[in-house]
Amino acid sequence: MLKRILLFLATNLAVVFVLTIVISLLGIGRYVGPGGLDLGALATLCFVWGMGGAFLSLQLTRWMAKRAYSMHIVDGQTGNEEADWAYRTIARLTQQAQLPMPEVGIYESAEVNAFATGPSKSRSLVAVSTGLLRTMPRDEVEGVLGHEVTHIANGDMVTMALLQGVINAFVMFLSRVIAYAIASRGDSRDDRSPMMEFMLVTVLQIVFGVLGMVVVCWFSRQREFRADRGGAQLAGRDHMVAALRRLAGNQDRIEIQQHKELAAFKISGNWSGLLSTHPPLEVRIAALERAQI
């Protein structure tokens, strides 16, 4: 756990360091001048921080996943029957989906799950837990792997990063505009209270950040429905439905909370409500059974 925390902190510090250099080189760090708030400069700053942070993080997701899970990358010739079967199955499914072959990683865990990540279709990773391979029959595992391959085919990692970047930029922009207006009492910048403005920015970023997460999580739930349909097309609807039912019976073996940075990429989650990245499994099963595939 300590290793994962340190890795997460190191990654975020690296992103902040790179963005700080970019902002310094562009000369866009200041957005309050003699004439007051410069909305253009602020918008540029927020865009660089929001979109830059999201896409730099996306570039690091595959690297982070491998190290956070102590993952073993397999090539189909390891001599381990389970791992080699998973590799061959993913190779067949990606060929059906007309995709480049992703990296395939196996991680030792009792959790029954799998996920896809990576910055592009040509630099993607499908990770499979040993708990999934040992718990599910192979036809059901094929449904899970078809679901993850569909995430890659749909470009879901990129669209999630794009949406998160836009949300982050708006959160930064709105919180600073509102905080500036309140702290300066609508008058000149000479009347501003820097401490009040800092506190307002902090509070408003939390509030707007939560509201933004509602939007991001809604989109994430919609992409799960699409990935279920894609998995059904690749592996067969019966296999996909059976896999989801098996996952519903193994909710206690889904360790989402321990790896929140990758939660949205897994096939199943255990959060609920507006901040859930996955719809309830029962709803997904019903939607798949109604779908015309």
In tens, the pLDDT along 228-251 reads 999 999 999 999 999 999 988 876
| Catalytic machinery residues | 148
The per-residue pLDDT for 283 is 93
The per-residue pLDDT for 33 is 77
Mean pLDDT, rounded, for 276-280 = 89
The per-residue pLDDT for 291 is 81
The C-alpha R_g of the chain, in whole angstroms, comes to 22
Task: Label residue 269 by pLDDT band (50, 70, 90).
Answer: low
The per-residue pLDDT for 211 is 95
Q: Residue 79: which domain range?
A: 2-290
* pLDDT tens-place string over residues 106-160: 999 988 999 999 999 999 999 999 999 999 999 999 999 999 999 999 999 999 9
Domain count, the chain: 1
